[in-house]
Amino acid sequence: MCMRGRLNKVYKIFDNKGMKASFRSGLRYARNIVFDNVYQFNIRRRYIANYLKYRGATPSPYRLIYVDPNDIYYDQMESDETDWNNRKRKKKVVKKKHGKKAAEQVADLYHPDAARFHIEKNLGKIIGGNWDQNRRPWEERRVYKSIKRAYFYGDDWRETPIFVKRKKILDITGEAYGWDVEDPIGKRISYVEELIERINSEGYLTQAEAENDYRNRNIFHEVSINIGRKGELIWNTSGQHRLAISKLLELDEIPVLVVVRHKKWQEIRYEMYESNSRSDLRPELEQYYNHPDVVDVRPEEDYVH
């Protein structure tokens, strides 16, 4: 969100909720500016450190890569390396606003092991360990199952898993992310159906291109993934509705932001970068030659650095 948009939001809060609420919103805005600057500094510092080790094979943190949505097969789960457990985070936030009882009730609606890497904190990181082994099939997510059932099989939206879950959250807390309190079901259904029709008719747009989407933010709101040791595409966070729709519409490719790469995968990228030609690649690397994350480093025939 741009500065003007954030300020307008503060003014709107002042008109609707008064000075105290607008003051709190202003403090959050100021805090976000500070954090944004810290994140940007750390992303640049991390890129330089990686470049000293991997040279031209160092991935540009803000570069979007284009992947077949059906190749994003996995959903990131909690590990020693992930720093954002969705269930614990929701429980903490709800407890602060609505009390311990509500927090316990809401927490039970989330998968206990669902997690991710915080995008701004981790963008461009190369991390070893077993985090890429802690995963489950992405299509087990409620959003995917719900859109598939409602839009493609004709089931009632209100009976789908994601709406049942969100309705319970609304009943407990009076709010749910992305839902309008006054008309939660109707407006949310309209938004999802309009998104499906827009992607079907206009194609998949990046956040920079989707200017008319009221929920559009910036590159950090693109579908984000992590890449495992063998090139596995693991969904990290953001854009789960867009990803589900892209899978169900069988789109050829969508843009994604890579947050974390496994150290072993980055070593594969580096070895490709160091190879003078495709014929020089070890047989084990040939299988990765058409992987979407190596198109910037893979050698051509008779290519010389």
Query: Which contiguous run of DSSP H or E holds residue 78?
Result: none
Backbone phi and psi for residue 286, each to the nearest 5 degrees, phi listed first: -60, -35
- Pick left, alpha or beta for residue 224 (phi over 0 → left; psi -120 to 50 → alpha; otherwise beta): beta
Domain spans, the chain: 1-58, 59-286
Per-residue pLDDT, 27: 61
Per-residue pLDDT, 43: 95
Per-residue pLDDT, 14: 44
Task: From first to last of the 305 residues of the chain, give the pLDDT tens digit.
Answer: 445 555 555 455 445 555 555 555 556 655 556 667 888 999 999 999 999 999 999 999 999 999 999 999 999 999 999 999 888 888 888 888 889 998 888 888 888 788 999 999 999 999 999 999 999 999 999 999 999 999 889 999 889 998 888 888 888 888 776 666 566 667 778 888 899 999 999 999 999 888 766 556 689 999 999 999 999 999 999 999 999 999 999 999 999 999 999 999 999 999 999 999 999 999 999 999 999 999 999 998 764 55
What is the rounded CA–CA span in Å between residue 132 and residue 129?
Answer: 8
Decide: pTM greater than 0.95.
no
- Residue 24 identity: R
- Residue 129 identity: G
Per-residue pLDDT, 12: 54
- Tokens found for residue 291: 């992987």
Per-residue pLDDT, 25: 54
Three-state secondary structure string covering 14-49: HHHHCHHHHHHHHHHHHHHHHHHHHHHHHHHHHHHH
Per-residue pLDDT, 213: 62
What is the rounded CA–CA span in Å between residue 164 and residue 160?
Answer: 6
What is the rounded CA–CA span in Å between residue 275 and residue 304?
Answer: 8
Per-residue pLDDT, 254: 98
